[in-house]
């Protein structure tokens, strides 16, 4: 061999030794090599025959790809519950019609959904309605009461003019009869021509308004729903009777800033499951009454695993959950894992990773799209 070819031979030998050894972080949870198969060298974005992806350094910077070296630890066990948002009975209410009647706007008009209201504010007025026969009977009764009241007023006036010559008890009896007739006339007149004010049961905003001016409603029809936008109830369901006693904390992925406080678990089945109630508080909760939500409940028991941001978990073409491991300068390998949510922002991987793996925590979705 000529001396001028010796450096080239050394370079080829070193390259072969480099291909023999696995790159750092390229071992599975049981120590197996994840990059054992040889791959053709490529220089651009490409998915290699073994399923791994080649991403040049410049592309990694543009895609904002970030990796971390993971570590295993003990973390609270979590369970995901299905629930829905309900009105907090101590911070809102439902306004129903006390009797059949016609809607009349209040002094400030009819409120609309989203409008702020105060406790005791008149939302609308309800004028009673009746059939022709009932209305005729009420008018006749009202006419009789007017006549009887007029006679009672003249009798009281006459007795008061004879005060001192007639017993005081007769004057008092006449006055009491006049007051009774006046009260009866007022009550009957209210059912014929009067209106009843429909007021807000609490401070808050109108969640729903289902009335129009002149609308005829029946007794117990829901007219308005008033809620406090900073308070709500979340009713989750579970078949496990003991779950409520094992919950340490909870969160809402739909509202990460909301603070959930466990109220308690029911002891009566509802649709085949037991309800667990949480009170949600926070500034301007992005929740609507009746909205279906998922509740992540942290239990008092722990699970051993690796915590990662939720964005690190993606799905491969077979719809399996995977994370991307960096096995070289430009090579990334998809590793199937088993994971469960820890809270609204993080997950815990219970199987599929080892402590030496360098996992992509930012840009995993972009790597997953490379074909």
Average pLDDT of the chain, as a whole number: 84
pTM above 0.75, yes or no: no
* pLDDT at 237 > cutoff 80: yes
- Side-chain half-sphere CA neighbours of 274 within 13 A: 14
pLDDT value of position 75: 86
Mean pLDDT of 283-290: 88
Rounded average pLDDT over 195-221: 92
Distance CA 29, CA 23 (A): 15
58 confidence band (pLDDT: 50, 70, 90): very high
Domain final residue pick, 272, 302, 332: 302
Residues 294 and 322 in one domain: no
Is 154 part of a structural domain of the chain?
Answer: yes
Q: 316 by DSSP, 3-state: which?
A: coil
Question: In the listed set 208, 226, 244, which residue is the last one of a domain according to the structure?
Answer: 226
The pLDDT assigned to 2 comes to 44
Q: Which helix (H) or strand (E) element contains residue 280?
A: strand 274-281
For residue 262, name the pLDDT band (cuts at 50, 70, 90): very high
pLDDT at 190: 67
Q: Is 248 helix (H, G, I), strand (E, B) or coil?
A: strand
Query: For residue 253, what pLDDT band results from cuts at 50, 70 and 90?
Result: confident
316 and 291 share one domain = no
User: Does some domain include residue 189?
Assistant: yes
Residues 236 and 294 grouped into a single domain: yes
Residue 39 pLDDT grade (very low, low, confident, very high; cuts 50, 70, 90): very low
Query: Is residue 32 in a domain?
Result: no
For residue 41, the model assigns a pLDDT of 54
Same domain for 298 and 250: yes
Gap between the Cα atoms of 359 and 66, Å rounded: 8
Using a pLDDT cut of 70, give the percent of the chain over it.
Answer: 86
Could you give the percent of the chain with pLDDT greater than 90? 44
Question: How many domains are there within the chain?
Answer: 3
Is the pLDDT reported for residue 35 higher than 60? no
123 and 153 share one domain: yes
Tokens of 268: 């009566």
- Same domain membership, residue 137 and residue 103: yes
Confidence of residue 15 (pLDDT cuts 50, 70, 90): very low
**Among the three residues 226, 258, 287, which one is the final residue of a domain in this structure?**
226
Rounded to 10°, the helix 168-192/132-161 angle is: 160
- Stated as kind and residue range, the H or E segment containing 149 is helix 132-161
User: Which structural domain, as residue segments, surrounds residue 271?
Assistant: 79-89+229-302
Whether 21 is covered by a domain: the verdict is no
> 260 and 180 in one domain?
no
Q: pLDDT per residue over 335-351, tens digit each?
A: 999 998 887 788 899 99
151: in domain: yes
Residue 323: per-residue pLDDT: 95
pLDDT band of residue 192 (cuts 50, 70, 90) is low
Does residue 318 lie in a domain region? Answer: yes
Question: In this structure, are 286 and 313 located in the same domain?
Answer: no
Q: Does a structural domain hold residue 8?
A: no
**Is position 186 within any domain?**
yes
The predicted pLDDT at position 169 comes to 86
Task: Looking at the structure, tell me whether residues 101 and 189 fall in a common domain.
Answer: yes
| 352 vs 322: CA distance, rounded Å | 9
Say whether both 106 and 221 belong to one domain. Answer: yes
Whether 181 and 134 share a structural domain: yes
The reply to whether 235 and 196 lie within a common domain is no
Q: Is 30 helix (H, G, I), strand (E, B) or coil?
A: coil
pLDDT band at 3 (very low <50, low <70, confident <90, very high): very low
């Amino acid at each position: 061999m000529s001396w001028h070819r010796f450096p080239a031979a050394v370079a080829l030998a070193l390259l072969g030794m480099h291909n023999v050894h696995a790159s750092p972080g390229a071992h599975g949870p049981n120590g197996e090599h994840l990059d054992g198969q040889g791959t053709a060298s490529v220089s651009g974005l490409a998915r290699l025959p073994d399923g791994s992806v080649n991403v040049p350094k410049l592309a990694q910077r543009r895609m904002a790809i970030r990796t971390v070296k993971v570590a295993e630890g003990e973390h609270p066990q979590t369970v995901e519950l299905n629930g829905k948002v309900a009105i907090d009975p101590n911070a809102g209410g439902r306004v129903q019609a006390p009797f059949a009647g016609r809607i009349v706007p209040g002094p400030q008009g009819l409120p609309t959904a989203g409008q702020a209201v105060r406790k005791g504010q008149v939302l609308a007025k309800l004028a009673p309605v009746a059939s022709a026969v009932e209305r005729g009977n009420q008018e006749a009764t009202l006419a009789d009461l007017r006549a009887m009241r007029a006679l009672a007023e003249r009798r009281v006036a006459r007795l008061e003019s004879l005060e001192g010559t007639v017993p005081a008890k007769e004057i008092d009896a006449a006055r009491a009869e006049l007051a009774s007739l006046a009260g009866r006339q007022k009550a009957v007149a209210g059912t014929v021509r009067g209106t009843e004010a429909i007021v807000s049961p609490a401070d808050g905003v109108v969640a729903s308004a289902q009335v129009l001016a002149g609308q005829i409603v029946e007794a117990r029809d829901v007219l308005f729903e008033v809620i406090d936008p900073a308070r709500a109830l979340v009713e989750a369901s579970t078949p496990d009777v003991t779950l409520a006693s094992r919950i340490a904390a909870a969160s809402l992925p739909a509202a990460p800033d909301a603070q959930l406080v466990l109220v308690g678990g029911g002891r009566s089945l509802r649709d085949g499951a037991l309800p667990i109630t949480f009170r949600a508080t926070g500034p301007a909760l992005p929740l609507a009454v009746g909205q279906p939500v998922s509740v992540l409940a942290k239990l008092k028991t722990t699970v051993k695993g690796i915590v990662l941001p939720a964005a690190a978990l993606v799905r491969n073409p077979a719809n399996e959950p995977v994370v991307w491991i960096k096995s070289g300068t430009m090579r990334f390998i998809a590793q199937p894992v088993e994971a469960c949510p820890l809270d609204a922002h993080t997950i815990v991987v219970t199987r599929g990773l080892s402590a030496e793996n360098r996992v992509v925590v930012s840009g995993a979705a972009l790597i997953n799209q490379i074909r």
